[in-house]
Structure formats: C-alpha cells, structure tokens
Amino acid sequence: MDEEDACFQRAVVQLARVGHFFFERGWVPATSGNFSVRLDSEYMAITVSGWPKGQLSQDGILLASLEGYPLTANKRPSAETLLHAALYRRTLEINAILHTHSVYATVLSRLLVDELVLSDYEVLKAFSGIKTHQTTVRIPIFPNDQNMERLASTVDAYWARNPGAPGYLIAGHGLYTWGPTVEDACRHVEALEFLLECEVLRQKL
Ligand SMILES: CSCCC(=O)C(=O)COP(=O)(O)O
Ligand SMILES: [Zn+2]
C-alpha cells in the first residue's frame, strides 16, 4: 500500500468511527451530515451523498479534489462538498471538517438571527487557545441556501473577516465545525453540541 492509500484508509477508519458515534448521539439522523479529511495539498476524503452516517464504511467515502470534484468513479460526493473545499482552501490549519444535524443546532439556528454568542461557559476551553470561561465565542448563522457555490462564498467571505470562528450554523439546517485533526474536530462538535443544548435550555427557562 502506498502512502496515499494509507492516508485514505486512515481517514476511512476515523470517519467511520465518527459516524457511528454521532449517529448514536442523534446528531446525524437519517442520511444527514457529512464529514471530510484533508489528505494532502490536493485531495480530501469525503462522505458519499445520501449515505447513512451510522453505517459508514469505505464504500461511503470517496476521494475528491480540494476544488470539490469527485475522483472516485461511480460515487457521488456530498451535496455540500463545496463548503468543505472552500474551508480547506482558505487555511492550512483545517484538516478535518464535520457537519451535524442535531435537534439543538436546528432549533437554535431558527430562533436566533445572525449569530450565537457564547460567553462564560467552562466548556469553551475545549477550543484551542481558550484558557478561561471569561471569554466570548461568536458562532455565525447563515441563511440556508440550496446553491452551494453561493453558500460557500458567503461562508468564505465571513471567514476572511473572522478567521477565529470555531464553527458556523446554517439556519434550520445544522452545524459545521472543524479542526487540525479529526480528533480536534470531533471534540469541537461535542463541545458545540453541549453548548447549543445549554443555550436552548437557558432560553426556555
Ligand atoms: C437528509 S439531510 C439533507 C442533506 C444535508 O443537509 C446533508 O447534510 C447530507 O447531504 P449529503 O449530500 O452530504 O448526504
Ligand atoms: Zn446538511
């Protein structure tokens, strides 16, 4: 097995684990969500469109270019591939991107306008560089859009102005977050899902 194959196989194992874990948590119901890993300066491994993430295996993952083009025959990449590609092209600090569709992300993204402001939560320390709860993290909320080119360029323009944002919400749709490794991205999903749940409960009380 050459180095490229080994990298792809490692991504398959990592993303399959993430899929099973997220499905058990209810964060990727039905066939929702999509995941990717940067493999090198040109390629990413990304989930096949419409694949149930709780049953993710090698068949549910394909190779695509960082421009968003599929490179594996007979497999259709996630409909949201351009959202992944734009982030990888924007910064080399991102090597894994995870997208979830939890109840709390969906509900909160419809209740709030423009952004979710998170302050004074101890769990914010799950994000790199944050050492105290006395901090504010802003999660932008973009309107949902079926035109992925347009949505990707909206997200990219925001990122250019706010490079520190650890994730974003799409209204009525879900959460995108990322990290330098799959483990970091997974920790960010767990922290953000926890914080979204806290915010929904706080707004309800
Ligand atoms: C049934 S969820 C609707 C599509 C979506 O938002 C999603 O995350 C999954 O799309 P994909 O093409 O990546 O399967
Ligand atoms: Zn989605």
Give, for all 205 residues of the chain, the pLDDT tens digit. 788 899 999 999 999 999 999 999 999 999 999 999 999 999 999 999 999 999 999 999 999 999 999 999 999 999 999 999 999 999 999 999 999 999 999 999 999 999 999 999 999 999 999 999 999 999 999 999 999 999 999 999 999 999 989 999 999 999 999 999 999 999 999 999 999 999 999 988 8
Residue nearest to atom 8 of ligand 1 (CA): 33
- Is 188 a known ligand-binding residue? no
Task: Give pTM, 2 decimals.
Answer: 0.98
- Is 101 a known ligand-binding residue? yes
Cβ neighbour number for residue 93 with a 10 Å cutoff:
11
Instruction: Identify which ligand lies nearest to the alpha carbon of 169.
Output: 2
- Asked whether 33 lines ligand 1 (CB < 6 A), one says yes
Quote the ipTM score.
0.99
d(Cα 102, Cα 92) in Å, to the nearest integer?
Answer: 28
CB 119 within 8 A of CB 41: no
> What domains are defined for the chain?
3-204 (3.40.225.10)
